[in-house]
């Protein structure tokens, strides 16, 4: 099996905080940042688009995000069944 030469470079700018947080997760998954980027690119090619939904949150969702960011209206449960029961679902 012949190794594929990886010579193309990708350059992107991000915040130091985002880079640190993402690389911590990528490392926990046992991957390097280069492997994660290659995986993302492969998925873009396979799906012929982004491998996740990109949507603009509506007003209700934005209000909910703001509340939870302030620590308000957070529902905790030990598992999904208990959470659904608390939420009345």
More confident call, 77 vs 3: 77
Contact 41, 68 (CB under 8 A): no
Q: Which residues contact 32 (CB under 8 A, 6 or more apart)?
A: 26
Q: What is the pTM of this model?
A: 0.61
pLDDT digits (tens, 9 = 90+) for 23-75: 999 999 999 999 999 999 999 999 999 999 999 999 999 999 999 999 998 88
State how far the Cα of 51 lies from the Cα of 47, in Å rounded to an integer: 7
State how far the Cα of 81 lies from the Cα of 84, in Å rounded to an integer: 5
Contact 43, 49 (CB under 8 A): no
Q: For the residues of 27-45, what is the DSSP string, one character each?
A: HHTT--HHHHHHHHHHHHH
Q: Which residues contact 40 (CB under 8 A, 6 or more apart)?
A: 51
């Amino acid at each position: 099996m012949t190794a594929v030469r990886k010579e193309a470079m990708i350059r992107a700018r991000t915040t130091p905080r985002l880079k640190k947080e993402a690389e911590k997760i990528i490392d926990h998954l046992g991957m390097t940042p280069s492997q994660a980027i290659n995986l993302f690119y492969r998925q873009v090619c396979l799906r012929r688009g982004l491998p996740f939904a990109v949507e603009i949150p509506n007003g209700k969702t934005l209000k909910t995000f703001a509340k939870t960011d302030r620590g308000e209206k957070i529902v905790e449960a030990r598992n999904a069944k208990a959470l659904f029961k608390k939420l009345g679902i």
